[in-house]
Amino acid sequence: MTAQLIDGKAIGLKVQEEVRLAVAKMKEEHDYVPGLATVLVGDDPASNTYVGMKQRTCKKLGIRSIGHTLPADATQEEVEKLVSELNADPTVNGILVQLPLPGHLDEEAILNSIDLEKDVDGFHPINIGRLAMKGRDALFAPCTPAGCMRLLEEIGVDPSGKDAVIVGRSNIVGQPMAMLLQKANATVTVCHSRTKDLAGHVRRGDIVVAAIGRMEMITGDMIKPGATVIDVGINQKEDPTRKRGYRLVGDVDFESAKEVAGWITPVPGGVGPMTIAMLMQNTLRAAEIYLAKKS
Ligand code: GUN
C-alpha cells in the first residue's frame, strides 16, 4: 500500500466537536438552541436508518431534533403543508426532507417550498444556482460534497490549479461537487454513463471523486500515481464470512487503487461520516443566520 488513508471518521468527529462547542456557546450567550426538523415520507429502510443517524447526532451535539414521518401515500399538499408549518416555526432552523421521495410526489416543488434560510441540505434551486455562479456564494452547500471539500482541506490538498475528475452527475453529489471544486479553482471534468473513455479521463485526475453508485468500478489502473481518491459510493458486496452476509464497499476498487493513489478514503469510514457532520454544521449556521436577523 502506498496511499495514505483519509480518516473521515476522525475528521467527522472533529467537525462534530466544533459544532457541539458552538451550540453550547449559543445557548449560553443567546439562550437559543438550534433545531433541525427531519421529514421522512414512507418507510424506506435505508432512509429510515439515515434519518435516525441524523437525529441521534443532533441530540449528541445539543441540537434540538424534530422528527416528522408521513405515510408513503401522503399527498403533495400534505407534504407542502408540513414544510410550510416548519418554515413558519421559529424554533426550527433547518428542514431536511429525506430523498428519495415516493414516485408520485413532485420533488422539485417540495424542495422549492423550503425557506431558503432553512435549506440545510443545500438543495433549493436558488442555493444551487448561487453555487454554480462565479462570485456568488450559496447560503448552504450540499452536505456530502461539502464534506469531501473538508476532507481535502484537512489533508492539505488544495484543489487550485489541479485536474479534478468527478465520476457521476447526481444532483446530490456529482453536480454540486463539480461546482465546489470549480469554485476552489480546480479544472473539473464530470464523467457519466455516456462518457466515451472513462479510464482516460480518470487517469488525468489529480483529484478523483467517485459517485456513480457502481461497486468497485474505478480500478487502480485508472488512477494517476499519487492522486487523491475520494470514494462516495456505498455498496453491499456479498461476503459469506460476515454475519450479515455482506460488507460495504465503495465505487472504487480499494485494493488496487490504494497501491497507486497518494491519498484514499476507505469505505466505510471515509466520506460517510462527513455528510452528517456537515449537516450539523449547516444547522448551526442556519441558527446563526436566524439570530443575526432577529437582533
Ligand atoms: N438522500 C441521500 N443523501 C441525502 C442527503 O444528503 N439529504 C437528503 N435529504 N436526502 C438524501
Residue 31 Cα to ligand 1 midpoint, Å, equals 30
Check whether 216 has a pLDDT greater than 90: yes
Q: Helix (H, G, I), strand (E, B), or coil: what is residue 131?
A: helix
272-286: pLDDT as tens digits: 999 999 999 999 999
90-107: pLDDT as tens digits: 999 999 999 999 999 999
32-65: pLDDT as tens digits: 999 999 999 999 999 999 999 999 999 999 999 9
Q: Helix (H, G, I), strand (E, B), or coil: what is residue 288?
A: helix
Q: Helix (H, G, I), strand (E, B), or coil: what is residue 217?
A: coil
The alpha carbon torsion through 106, 108, 113, 119 (nearest 10 deg) reads 130
Select from 38, 49, 121, 279 the residue to mutate for testing ligand 1; criterion: most ligand atoms less than 8 Å from CB: 121
The angle formed by the CA atoms of residues 275, 276 and 281, to the nearest 5 degrees, is: 100
160-209: pLDDT as tens digits: 999 999 999 999 999 999 999 999 999 999 999 999 999 999 999 999 99
Q: At 41, which amino acid appears?
A: V
Residue found by looking up cell 460534497 in the block: 145
User: Is 31 among the catalytic positions?
Assistant: no
Check whether 259 has a pLDDT greater than 90: yes
pLDDT band at 1 (very low <50, low <70, confident <90, very high): low
Q: Is the CB of 53 under 6 A from ligand 1?
A: no
Q: At 45, which amino acid appears?
A: P
- Quick one: what percent of the chain has pLDDT higher than 70? 100
User: How far apart are the C-alpha atoms of 276 and 224, rounded to whole Å?
Assistant: 30
What's domain 30-115's architecture? 3-Layer(aba) Sandwich (3.40)
Give the Å distances, CA to CA, from 116 to 54, 104, 178, 180, 290: 20, 24, 22, 19, 12
Select from 47, 48, 50, 275 the residue to mutate for testing ligand 1; criterion: most ligand atoms less than 8 Å from CB: 50
Residue 142 Cα to ligand 1 midpoint, Å, equals 9
Which three cell numbers, joined as nine digits, stand for 38? 427531519
68 neighbors 83 (Cβ within 8 angstroms)? no
Residue 202's DSSP bridge partners are none
Residue 18 Cα to ligand 1 midpoint, Å, equals 22
What is the per-residue pLDDT for 245?
97
Burial class (CB in 10 A: 0-12, 13-18, 19+), 10: exposed
pLDDT band at 295 (very low <50, low <70, confident <90, very high): confident
Kindly report the pTM of this predicted structure: 0.97
| φ, ψ at 52 (rounded to 5°) | -60, -40
Burial class (CB in 10 A: 0-12, 13-18, 19+), 231: buried
Q: Whose CA is nearest to atom 11 of ligand 1?
A: 99
User: Is 54 among the catalytic positions?
Assistant: yes
Q: Which CATH number fits domain 142-274: 3.10.20.340, 3.40.1280.10, 3.40.50.720, 3.30.2010.10?
A: 3.40.50.720
Q: Whose CA is nearest to atom 4 of ligand 1?
A: 99
**Is there a shared CATH topology between the 30-115 domain and the 142-274 domain?**
yes
Q: At 287, which amino acid appears?
A: A
User: How far apart are the C-alpha atoms of 238 and 246, rounded to whole Å?
Assistant: 4
251 neighbors 167 (Cβ within 8 angstroms)? yes
113-162: pLDDT as tens digits: 999 999 999 999 999 999 999 999 999 999 999 999 999 999 999 999 99
Residue 228 Cα to ligand 1 midpoint, Å, equals 24
191 neighbors 164 (Cβ within 8 angstroms)? no
- Mean pLDDT (whole number) for 254-269: 98
235 neighbors 249 (Cβ within 8 angstroms)? yes
Domain boundaries, the chain: 30-115, 142-274
Q: Annotated catalytic residue: which of 121, 206, 231, 253?
A: 121
Which three cell numbers, joined as nine digits, stand for 10? 476522525
User: How far apart are the C-alpha atoms of 109 and 232, rounded to whole Å?
Assistant: 27
User: Is 98 among the catalytic positions?
Assistant: yes
